Amino acid sequence: MGQAVEVAGGPAKILRDAGVTSSTYSRYLNGETEASAEKLGRIAEVTGVSLDWLVLDRGAPIFEAGAPPAIPLGPDMAQIPPLRIGEELEGEIGGGQRLAFPRALLRRLGTEIEALEFLRARGDSMRPTIEDGAIVLIDRSQRDVIGDAVYLVSLDDGPLIRRVRRNVDGAITLISDNRACYEPERLERADAERLRVHGRVRWTETLL
C-alpha cells in the first residue's frame, strides 16, 4: 500500500482523495488495523493500482488496459504497449493489449514514456533481480551498452534478458544474475558484432 501511495503522488494527496486520515493510514501500514473493503477500493482507485496487488501484493501493480477495468484510467496513467521485435510480440499479455502504469512511476525511471514497451520475463536466469513471469519495462531508446546494465538482447536465438558487459578487447560478456545455475557467456568480437541490443531494462515488478 505504501509503495502505491508514494508512487501516485504521496500520502497528502492520495489520503485526501481517498478520504483516509493520516493516523488511520499509519495504522494500516503498521498492521494495527485492517482497512475496510470500501477504503481499500477507494485507495486502489485513486492510486491507479489493481486491488489484487494492493491487498495481496500479487501480480502487477497496474491494470491490464484491455480487460474491463474496475475503475476508468485517468490522466495520471499511461498505457505501455507490448514489446515487438519485427512482427513478433514478446511476452504477450492478453492478446497484445497495453498495460497502464502510473505516470509518476514512469517519470522516476528517467526515460521518455514513448520509448517504453513491456514484456513478461521467462525463466530463472535473472533471479533474484527478475523473477519468472515478472512484467519488465524495456526502454527501446537505450541500445548502447553502458557499464553492466541489464538489457534485452538477441544473437541467433530468441531474445534474452542479460546483464551486458563490454570488454576492452571488443568481446562482450552476457551475465545471468542467477550465477549459481548459469555461467557468464563470453562473445568474441565477431559474435559480439552480431549481437542485437533491443533496449535496456528500466523496471520490473517483484513477485513474492
> Would you list the domain boundaries of the chain?
1-57, 59-204
Architecture of the domain defined by 59-204:
Ribbon (2.10)
Q: Which residue has the cell 552480431?
A: 194
Q: Is the dihedral of CA 165, 171, 175, 180 positive or negative?
A: negative
Per-residue pLDDT tens digits of the chain, which is 208 residues long: 666 666 556 677 667 777 777 777 777 777 777 777 667 777 777 776 665 556 555 555 554 444 444 445 567 778 888 888 765 545 544 446 778 787 877 888 888 999 999 998 989 999 999 988 888 999 999 999 888 799 999 987 778 999 999 998 889 999 999 999 999 999 998 888 889 999 999 988 765 4
In 76-181, the DSSP E strands lie at 77-80, 84-85, 88-89, 99-102, 116-120, 135-139, 150-154, 160-166, 172-175
Q: Is 128 helix (H, G, I), strand (E, B) or coil?
A: coil
**So what CATH class is 1-57?**
mainly alpha
